[in-house]
Amino acid sequence: MFFLQERIGYAEKPFFIIKFRSMRIPESSNSDAQRLSSYGKFIRKHSLDEIVTIINVIKGDMSLVGPRPLLPEYLPLYTKRQKIRHSVKPGLTGMTQVMGRNSLKWTRKFAYDVWYTHNASFLLDMYIIAKTVSVVVLASGTSHKGHATMPKFGEKNS
pLDDT digits (tens, 9 = 90+) for 105-138: 899 999 999 999 999 999 999 999 999 988 888 7
Given this model, what pLDDT does residue 148 score? Answer: 44
| Between 3 and 84, the higher pLDDT residue | 84
Given this model, what pLDDT does residue 9 score? Answer: 97
* 54-65 residue pLDDT tens: 999 999 999 999
Given this model, what pLDDT does residue 102 score? Answer: 81
Given this model, what pLDDT does residue 66 score? Answer: 97
Q: Which of 75, 82, 141, 76 is nearest to 107 (CA)?
A: 82
Cβ count within 10 A of residue 33: 12
Q: In the chain, what percentage of residues exceed pLDDT 90?
A: 56
- Per-domain boundaries in the chain: 2-138
Whole-model pTM above 0.75?
yes
Given this model, what pLDDT does residue 50 score? Answer: 80
Q: Which residues are CB-contacts of 116 (< 8 A; sequence separation ≥ 6)?
A: 66, 67, 88, 94, 95, 124
Given this model, what pLDDT does residue 136 score? Answer: 82
